[in-house]
Chain A
Amino acid sequence: MPSDVPSPPSVSILPLEARAVSLEAGGKRLIKDLNFTLEAAKSTIVLGPNGAGKSLLLRLCHGLLKPSAGEIVWRGTRGRDPTPYQAMVFQRPVMLRRSVAANIDYALALRKVPRAQRRNLIEDALHRTGLEHFARHPARVLSIGEQQRLALARAWALTPEVLFLDEPTASLDPNATHVIEQVIAAFDAAGTKIIMTTHDLGQARRLADEIVFLHQGRALEISTADDFFAGPIDASAQAFLRGELLWRTPDP
């Protein structure tokens, strides 16, 4: 069904290019000299230990933070504002104090989607995420897993060309994580470019086409997922993959 698939704009805003991007705050350099180009149709997973700067990197790309130096360039915009072509899902879902359906409706209203079209988009998004029975529930009484599904549903309704996800399953149990990953896969199948952070290696293996390995604010390795998991070149990345470093506490 055509309405099931977000239709990408005829001309993509991608590729996304970071040109010598740095971010400083409180006298510390949190992101150091990032240079990369992210193309369409590949899921990019930003991998790295806690505190590596993964969330900052996503916020810089999405435009929530301004780089202290360098620039983020959407090479395909052709003068268009890139904001409406993007959506972001945060680690802790931000739910408006409204019903489930109204949370999606609000996002669509901000994008100036005519009221007549919103109902179908909302229904489709709720159906995609298995939330159709919750449409009239207040969003904040949902479980965290359901709230994260609603955050994804809200993004789905916006049919973004690029979807940023900041550790979307960090606070979820395996069941909820599985559902979230399925929805992310559906975005990918629909042609949405995924740019997502995680420190979960298994999740990275399941979802990634391309890995950006970040450590202490630097992108130490950027490669295809196959190459990365076959054996990264960078020493920290190798150690991270082996789970040897102190920041990855072994499971008891």
Chain B
Amino acid sequence: MTDIGGALGAAFSMIVHFDRDLAEIVGLSLRVSLSAVFLATVIGMPLGAALALFRFPGRAAVVVLLNALMGLPPVVVGLIVYLLLSRTGPFGVMGLLFTPTAMIIAQVLLVVPIVAALTRQVAEDLWAEYEEQLRSLGAGSGQALVALLWDGRFILMTAVLAGFGRASAEVGGVMIVGGNIDHVTRVMTTAIALEVSKGNLALALGLGIVLIVLSTAISLAAYQIKEATLRRHAI
């Protein structure tokens, strides 16, 4: 109990005193995860919508694979990106290992399957409703894909939120490819892991509380936007 009381005190004092290190860590966490989610959305949504629209041999296998990849272990993704970016790896010359860019790459790989799989589900339902009308109006596949994503955009916020949840919560990927270097690649989850290993449980829990509050605030904002628009459009 004293740990939890101390943690709350630590979290409160960090926020009140606006600890510079904390601000830096929070800032980098948000930068990495939001960039990763943005890129994963740009990649994953058209991919998911295309899977909903097109029938091709092996489609079922791709859908199953995509669903399975939603549960990809972050540590494994981290390891793969590490191997690709390490000095001896194929992209070693770019010198990206232990940089925020490497962390973004790892998180993009983690989030794309989530965004794509959830988008496919939403787009497939919408396509079932729209298909005949859009074909009647003469929409090509590309135009239909854009219409599905545009008309599904409010429901699809859920997919983006799920992706953000995964990105901001994972520690294995960013730890391996980022290295948890102070002032360079230290984010909230790796900082928590470090403080736990140092025995600073109160500080670790304080950081955890800040992380939870942040992601809750983002979820809440997204939820309210989504609900308001869904009601307005009677979806």
Residues of A within 8 A of B (CB): 59, 62, 64, 83-84, 86-88, 90, 94, 96-98, 106-107, 110-111, 138, 140-141, 158
Contact = CB atoms under 8 A, between A and B. Distances in A.
A201 B231 CA distance: 39
A110 B143 contact: yes
Interface of B: 129-130, 132-133, 135-139, 143, 147, 151-152, 154, 232-235
B151 A97 contact: yes
A107 B143 CA distance: 11
A94 B129 contact: yes
Contacts of B133: 88, 90, 94
Return the 4 tightest CB-CB contacts between A and B, nearest first: A94-B133, A97-B151, A140-B234, A138-B233
Contacts of B152: 97
Nearest to A154: B137
A83 B129 CA distance: 20
Contacts of B233: 97, 138, 140-141
Given A138-B233, A140-B233, A94 B130 contact: yes
Contacts of B138: 83-84, 110-111
Given A94-B130, A97-B151, A106-B147, A87 B234 contact: no
B132 A98 contact: no
18 contacts: A64-B136, A83-B138, A86-B136, A87-B137, A88-B133, A88-B136, A90-B132, A90-B133, A94-B130, A97-B151, A97-B154, A107-B137, A111-B137, A111-B138, A138-B232, A138-B233, A140-B233, A158-B137
Contacts of B235: 97, 140
Given A138-B232, A141-B233, A110 B139 contact: yes
